[in-house]
Amino acid sequence: MFEVRHALLAYWLARRIKTRAQLKGRTAAKLHNWLQRDVPQVPFYAGRKVTTLDDLPIIDKATLMADFAAFNTAGITAEMGWQAFAGSKQIGKLVVGASTGTSGNRGLFVISQAERFRWLGSILAKALPGFWRKRHRVAVLLPLNTPLYDSANRMQRLKLRFFDIGQPWEDDLAAFQPTVIIAPPKVLRQIAMQAMPLAPEHVFAAAETLDPVDAAFIAAHFNRPLRQIYMATEGLFAVSCEQGTLHLCEDTMHFELPQVGDDPDLRAVIVSDFSRRTQIMARYRMNDLIRLGPPCACGLPHQTVAEVVGRVDDCFTLAGMTITPDVMRNAVVDADRKITDFRIIQTGATEIEVLVPYGVDCDAVLQAVMGALRAWSATARVIVRAADLKPDMSRKLRRVENRWRGGVPIAGIDRQ
Ligand SMILES: [Zn+2]
């Protein structure tokens, strides 16, 4: 059963780490033990001599899902996993979870009860330091029930409730009066726009890329900083500190951050989760691009993330060059201050479609986008039109999306 001591332990261990040297020292030993003891326990790495991370190949979701059973100690296949996920979400004592992506692109994970409690403890310790001194009502609004969360219901001072955003949830949420809300940005935005009578002390965006236009709007509504929990089926990657800065969870995960393109801060993300043993995630390439940030005033030595820029899949490719989602987004948002929502879609080799709300000056947006693209391509064809933009609760909101699949791999992150 989850006990407060799991989170307390995570909290105190984190507090004892004050410098990067201490952090590196602590995690190097953990990583080494994991490589020697746990990684060779699953078939994919069996018989391989593993001394350092470099002894392992870099893998991605396609590698993992092609032979899911080769990556866990219980021999659970993807078929068994999906079957369990549709039902009890358990196989024996193991917990099965999945991501919300489009079908064919969904990720599956399997963890033990102990891993689930450590994971939850880690989130609580990072998100709500000192939480055991206060009574919190934590509302988690996500599209699918992830059994990771159920365990906290057993804690006395912490009431945790899950709301399925695929169903009506507004009245139940108002009745619950959460002190902490964890939800995708589009749901927080909906709460803000409908001016629901809620007064949370902490608001966390999770599960989707947080767009600056949403962050500003949501923070203004709740009158407090919007913090982030950056996580996926692959694990817990980063949590904002109380200053609002995202810090990588380097105490439980090893990050390789190869530079992408010319910007030294723009990085791909390759993770090795040395806190997990049931399913091995080693040198796993994420589909996200991040921008590193400067050290934070809060004093945590964990690497900061200025921004989760977006998905590698959603970078545009024009004339053989790569344009990251933030470049497109900034061009559109800066064109007209009235723009608080938009979609930018690459639909062909040189075709880009931009959708903005009614009432926005489409000509100004067109000029801004053409201006931003000039550095890449003089031949891009851009169409800007007004549309009724409503978020779809059944899938992740992607404002910048590449639907053209004839692109070339991005320098620094092409497949092995
Ligand atoms: Zn900080």
| Measured distance CA(399)–CA(354) in Å, rounded | 10
Would you state the structure tokens that stand for residue 272, as one six-digit string?
């090795």
Cα 233 from Cα 227, distance rounded (Å): 20
Residues 322 and 334: beta-carbon distance below 8 Å? no
Cα of 301 to ligand 1 centre, how many Å? Answer: 8
In this prediction, residue 377 carries a pLDDT of 77
Say what the pLDDT of residue 324 is. 87
In DSSP notation, 79-111 reads HHHHHHHHTTSEETTEEEEE--S-TTS--EEEE
Whole-number Å distance between alpha carbons of 179 and 131: 11
Strand, coil or helix: what is 62? helix
Q: Ligand 1 centre from 165 Cα, in Å?
A: 30
CB 344 within 8 A of CB 332: yes
* pLDDT of the residue at 367: 92
Cα 239 to ligand 1 centroid, rounded to whole Å: 9
Q: How far is ligand 1, taken at its centre, from the CA of residue 327, in Å?
A: 26
Could you tell me which residues are beta bridge partners of residue 95? 90, 111
Structural domains of the chain in order of their starting residue, each with its CATH number: 4-312 (3.40.50.12780), 315-402 (3.30.300)
Beta bridge partner(s), residue 139: 161, 181
Cα 64 from chain centre: 18
For ligand 1, the distance from its centroid to the CA atom of residue 308, given in whole angstroms, is: 16
Q: Helices marked H in 253-395 — which ranges? A: 325-335, 362-373
DSSP 300-315: --SPEEEEEEEEGGG-
Q: At what angle do helices 212-222 and 185-193 cross, to 10 degrees?
A: 40
For residue 253, CA distances in Å to 161, 363, 394 come to 27, 46, 30
Residue 345 has a pLDDT of 94
In tens digits, what is the pLDDT along the chain, a chain of 416 residues?
A: 455 566 666 666 666 788 999 999 989 999 999 999 999 999 999 988 889 999 999 999 889 999 999 999 999 999 999 999 888 889 999 989 887 655 556 788 999 888 887 777 788 788 887 777 788 888 988 765 555 555 555 566 778 888 888 888 999 999 999 999 999 999 999 999 998 999 999 999 988 888 888 999 999 999 988 999 998 777 889 999 888 899 999 999 999 999 987 789 999 999 999 999 999 999 999 988 999 999 999 999 999 999 988 888 888 888 878 888 888 888 898 888 888 889 999 999 899 999 999 989 999 999 999 988 887 777 889 999 999 988 777 777 888 999 887 655 454 444 33
pTM over 0.85: no
Distance between Cα 309 and ligand 1 center (Å): 19
Whole-number Å distance, alpha carbon 299 to ligand 1 midpoint, is 6
- Would you state the pLDDT for residue 6? 62
Token code pair at residue 391: 């978020």
* β-strand partners of 77: none
Query: How far, in Å, from the CA of 329 to the mean position of ligand 1?
Result: 26
The residue assigned the tokens 């010319």 is: 262
